[in-house]
Amino acid sequence: MMARPDAGEKATPTSTQLLAEQAAQKMFLEDRASQSLGMRILAVRPGYAKLAMTIRPEMTNGHATCHGGFIFTLADSAFAFACNSHNLRTVAAGCLIDFLAPAYEGDELTAEATEQALAGRSGVYDVLVTNQKGQRIALFRGRSRQVGGTIVDTSHDAA
């Protein structure tokens, strides 16, 4: 996710992809939560993000399985990277998660967020969380809201 020389060009497929990568890079640097939980960004594109996280012992709860909160947090981060991929500052308004199967200590979870709709300042994103065997762990649907401003400052790019 390093900067590329064509960053100042108009929004071509290349530059929208570049912006998505730059926005994700900047967000991740500021996102102590996602970092401290060991999340890794596997891919980011306009309207899309894929993250991974390994379930640590301190993420488990009283049923000896991963606390649902950490599954949600991974999905919510993937959602955040996907809905900020257009370089327009966006926050979560509301999210639904359905837990399908338990996750266990040591599991490698992947969350894949895909834009379903974006109209005006509101968007809807679906996130699928799977484990290292490809089993579905959770389905997440998030509603986003643009709040004004950008992630990466592009105002000097035309200079």
Q: Which residues bind a copy of itself (CB under 8 A)?
A: 26-34, 36, 57-64, 66-70, 72-74, 76-77, 80, 84, 89, 91-101, 116-117, 119, 122, 124, 136, 139, 141, 143, 145, 151
Shorter beta-carbon distance to a copy of itself: residue 17 or 31 = 31
Shortest Cβ distance from residue 13 to a copy of itself (Å)? 23
Shorter beta-carbon distance to a copy of itself: residue 18 or 23 = 23
Does residue 141 contact residue 135 with C-beta atoms inside 8 Å? no
- DSSP string for residues in 15-71: HHHHHHHHHHHHHHHH-HHHHHTT-EEEEEETTEEEEEEEPPGGGB-TTSSB-HHHH
Shortest Cβ distance from residue 82 to a copy of itself (Å)? 13
Shorter beta-carbon distance to a copy of itself: residue 6 or 101 = 101
CA dihedral 59, 62, 64, 68 (to 10 degrees): -50
**Cα dihedral across residues 128, 126, 76, 27: positive or negative:** positive
Q: Facing residues of 66 across strands?
A: 60
The two structure tokens encoding residue 145 = 């809201």
End-to-end CA distance of the chain: 23
Shortest Cβ distance from residue 119 to a copy of itself (Å)? 6
Shortest Cβ distance from residue 6 to a copy of itself (Å)? 25
Shorter beta-carbon distance to a copy of itself: residue 9 or 153 = 153
Shorter beta-carbon distance to a copy of itself: residue 18 or 111 = 111
Shortest Cβ distance from residue 63 to a copy of itself (Å)? 7
